[in-house]
Structure formats: C-alpha cells, structure tokens
Copies of this chain bind each other. A is one copy, B any other.
C-alpha cells in the first residue's frame, strides 16, 4: 500500500476553509484512513493568523514552493485564482506531489496543454480535477443513462443554468475579479465551469460553437455575464448552453432529447426520465393510419408509449467535496478509478474558450480551434484593460 495522502491546501479562502473544516470537524464521511490534512499555505498574513487560531499544531507556509519542498505534504489542492492553477500544478507535479486542481484547470487551452504534458511526463504522480459535481448522484445517474443509451442517441441538449446571480458588490470584492487579466473571463470561467464539464461529460464534445454574449450586462465589469451558445455536435445534433449572472430569478433546467426518450433535470435535484417503449422511429413507422387519425382527434393516449420515472435527489452539504477528496486519496492509495482525471479538465476549458472566441470573432468557431488564436484574442483584451500582464 502506498503512503496515506498528506494534503496541503493552498489558499485559505472560502473553498480552502471548507476543505480544512472537514478535517477540523473530523467529518465521518471523510475517509481518514487514506487522507489527512498536513499543511496550509496562504500568502496573505491575515490568513496566517487565522490558520494559527484554527489549526494551532498544523504546519503553515506563506509560499507554496516552500510547502512543496518541505516534505510535509505529498499532495496539494489549489484553491487560488484561476491563472495560478497551471503554474502551481506544474510545480507540484515536478516535485512528485499529487495534484488535485481546482476548476477550471486553467483559463486557456494552451496553458492547460502544458500542464497535461507535465502530468504525462511525471506519470507516477496523480493529477485530478475538483469537479465535485461529477460526484453528484443525480448527474452520475444522467451520465449512466446516456452511456447506456437508455434514451437512445442524443438529438438535442438544452441547459438553461442561470442560478448564478452575482450583484455588483460581489464583483467589487477584489481587483482581479471579473477582469480579463486577473480572472480570464466571467461566468464561463468562474461560475459555470461545472456545467461546462458536465455537459460534455454527459453529452460528448461538440464540433462547432456559435455564441452570443453580453459583457457587463447590468454590471460594471469587462467580462461576459450573459451567454447564449448554440452547440453543433454534427449531423444536426445540437445543444444550447445558456448562462448568466444577472438573473435574480435563476433557472436551472437541463433537457436531453434522445431517439428513445427524454431526460429533464430541474433545479439540479429533480430527475424526470421518459423512455419510449420502442425507438421513436420504429413507433413512427409502424403506427397505423387509424392511430394517426386518433392522434389528430386528440384521442391517442401518448402515455401508452412512455414509461416515466421521477426521482428527487437531496443535496447534502459538503458531500460532493468529500467524495472528491476520498476518491482522489483512494486512487492514490488503493488504485480506485479517478472520477475526474486531470486531462478531462481541458474539455470544459476548450468549450468556454470556444464560446468566447465565437463572440469575439462574431462567427461560428470549431471546438478544436487554434489555441494560439484564442490566447492572442485574450491578450488583446488584457492589453485594452490595462491592469495586468499579458499571458503566454
């Protein structure tokens, strides 16, 4: 058996504080046979004091490189601004330290590819992404249904996910937030990465993307906070991905239409599955003329052809995050399969980049677009903004 995971948390903010809290409270759900909290790192002196109060015995570092070199930790989680994810991740891998990267794995695919290349070079070191929604039993069930073709082949997916309301005060909290140079985007980079991951995890990768965005809709910010994207999966199979941060009455409705049925997820908690008794095309071809007439007279009972199930899922505070920590540690210690391997993280980033790029170029773009073109366009916006260095 490999050594137990000794986790170092980099960043003692809201997320980092939550993870540390699981250990502090000896949360029963945490598999402490395989994981322990070994250190916390933060470059903010105020956080140093706070950690000293909360965890008087725990090693603290104000520089992540010192932590990586210390020998105190053999794994890290990076709850830091997005642009730090790749650099810290690559340094960890070079030190042979397992990486649980926060989402998004990076801001642009060019940097993410560097991280993935490093993870292949240091292939004994685990690289996973903190996609806690992948542990959500509801979305795991949806993925299973789709993987097993229980509603046939994908025809269309439509996700309206606008429950990300953020007032101006949220954006005013720090100078990097909702900037091109400090954060790399808006709702696509900060709030919606989970759904960008789930959408392609469940429905596959699109081929082309056309998107219409608003930048600073009702907010004093430079980045996008209103998104309507049309995804083309090829052969007329499509998707719509709609998100924003200015809808106080948020909608969360994910509909997947397949050749043998339909899945509707409402509020990320109610799952309705409607399965046809046969493939729709077969029902269409074998329906008698008499039944066609009945259909138009409103005399056909459509429910004769449909089996419907409704399941309610409860969200248990912290469960998803603990599941990710347990899975990460059990993978390292016992070889359990990773729920979110690091290289999976690039798909959501590529989708977010495609959506930006389509809006910037005002045309449809390939999902597999030129990564340098994206970075050039991003840098143009960073230069215009004039607050941060360009990226490479």
The listed residue (B242, B283, B292, B306) touching A156 by CB distance below 8 A is B242
Contact-residue bracket for chain A: 35 or more
Given A218-B280, A218-B284: A249 touches B262 (CB 8 Å cut-off): yes
Q: Could you say which of A167, A259, A305 has the most chain B C-beta atoms within 10 Å of its C-beta?
A: A167
Most buried by B among A217, A244, A288, A306: A217
Question: Which residues of A, 261-293, contact B by the 8 Å Cβ criterion?
Answer: 261-262, 264, 274, 276, 280-281, 283-285, 287-289, 291-292
A156 with B228: CB separation less than 8 A = yes
Q: Among the listed stretches A195-203, A231-239, A327-335, A371-379, which one makes contact with chain B, having 4 or more residues with CB under 8 Å of it?
A: A231-239
Contact of A251 among B246, B247, B262, B364 (CB under 8 A): B262
Across the interface, A169 reaches (CB within 8 A) one of B226, B228, B287, namely B287
Would A276 and B251 count as touching, CB distance under 8 A?
A: no
Instruction: Determine how close the nearest CB of chain B comes to the CB of A375; give it in whole angstroms.
Output: 24
Closest beta carbon of chain B to A256's beta carbon, Å:
11
A160 contacts partner chain B, Cβ-Cβ < 8 Å = yes
CB-CB contacts of A151-165 with B at 8 A, as 1s and 0s?
000011010101001
Can you name 15 A-B residue pairings with CB atoms under 8 Å?
A158-B160, A158-B240, A167-B285, A168-B284, A168-B285, A210-B364, A212-B230, A212-B236, A217-B236, A219-B284, A240-B240, A248-B305, A253-B253, A363-B363, A364-B364
Please give 18 more A-B residue pairs, beta carbons under 8 A apart, in addition to A169-B287, A248-B306: A155-B244, A167-B287, A167-B295, A168-B284, A168-B285, A169-B284, A210-B230, A212-B236, A214-B236, A228-B230, A228-B238, A246-B280, A248-B280, A248-B283, A249-B261, A251-B255, A251-B257, A363-B364
